[in-house]
A and B are shown apart, each in its own frame.
Chain A
């Protein structure tokens, strides 16, 4: 109970009120079970009620959604995916393929508007992340389908395709992250999410374009289409979105401005490449198994779920540790543009934020993990970015 009485944070040495649960400057959890580590893995900085190692897709890929908004996005994702799967069961294959491809990109687009992630500049964000990535996904899928590149299907579909997908999906998010307006790690992560999901959508529609040509493409059994549509609706976009988001967040880095192609990006890109290749290689190998097509497709779906879960945990850990590291550096004097001013309040629990707070001292939510309009209000700035304090 000593920590209750301490007047200074043991991690950053800033003063604190005795009633605070978390340090408002560095995010330290005063009630942490392992006080020698400041990583507070039991309390995710975006949503402190969750553990960091959780598979909640919404608080990983859409980190500015808070409170009831998280449940709304979970419901929206679940419903849109359920509509696609139900259409596949009913034999409405073209409808199912399009809804499966559109489900995640549509929800991400709504989120971008909802939290004003595009900071009142929707056009460059929509064009760079969603439209260009979707078109690149469709075009690449068409080229790879027409012109074999590797020595066999597995090399072409399992190695070349994911590497191209990652590289092409990153163009838009990296361009946006290099602009002062969008140089925050959460911005890059979210744009990576949108670009990855849009690329997956373009690839899905192009891969299954035969279903639009005539009845021949729709003769496959319902079980097969259910697994294909479930994969296209939720697993593939999440794998692509998480991988691109990991790499984009590594490029952006933790402080003001972007870090660029440095060690953090190299480590993140390696993880993203590994995730993409492991996923697509697994799907290609399982698709080649000498079993019923529906069974191999179900195995690929299960494999994709495992890879998606791992990538989501990696992304959450990267975001969590990055925000904590940035908080500690700011507490030690590095400039930050997220420090709260008088009248600021937490977007998660609505409690007042202490002056210069980077975290809510009551619930531990990061001041960066709130809607952009709330961030502007809390920091007293007309815009969060612009590369200035």
Chain B
């Protein structure tokens, strides 16, 4: 029986890290763009939530 080890394969660690960080960065950029041009949209979304 193969002893248990880490859950994620090494290559996948890199891929997940890059994808998540880029996605968060894109969200930040989008938030910046919205605040820049239509700040009331943020408040509308928050009010809707």
B3 CB contacts on chain A under 8 angstroms: 344-345, 347, 350, 374, 377-378
Min distance, Cβ A75 to any Cβ of chain B, angstroms: 5
Known contacts A65-B6, A347-B5; A102 and B21 CB within 8 A of each other: yes
B8 CB contacts on chain A under 8 angstroms: 110, 113-114
Q: What is the interface size of chain A, counting residues whose CB is below 8 A from a CB of the partner?
A: 48
Partner of A214, one of B5, B11, B35: B35
List the A residue with the shortest CB-CB distance to B34. Answer: A212
Instruction: Kindly state the separation between the CA atoms of A350 and B21 in the bound complex, as whole angstroms.
Output: 33
Partner of B10, one of A72, A93, A370: A72
Known contacts A65-B6, A114-B13, A215-B36; A79 and B18 CB within 8 A of each other: yes
Instruction: Kindly state the separation between the CA atoms of A378 and B3 in the bound complex, as whole angstroms.
Output: 9
Interface of A is mostly: helix
Q: Is the CB of A68 within 8 A of B10?
A: yes
Min distance, Cβ B37 to any Cβ of chain A, angstroms: 9
List the A residue with the shortest CB-CB distance to B4. Answer: A373
- Contact bitstring A58-96, B, C-beta under 8 A = 1, else 0: 000000011011011101110110011001000011111
- Contact bitstring B1-23, A, C-beta under 8 A = 1, else 0: 00111111011011011101110
A interface residues with partner B (beta carbon < 8 Å): 65-66, 68-69, 71-73, 75-77, 79-80, 83-84, 87, 92-99, 102-103, 106-107, 110, 113-116, 211-215, 344-345, 347, 350, 370-371, 373-374, 376-378
Contacts A76-B14, A211-B32, A214-B36 known; 12 new A-B pairs at CB < 8 A = A76-B13, A83-B22, A94-B33, A99-B21, A99-B22, A99-B24, A103-B17, A110-B20, A115-B6, A213-B36, A373-B7, A377-B4
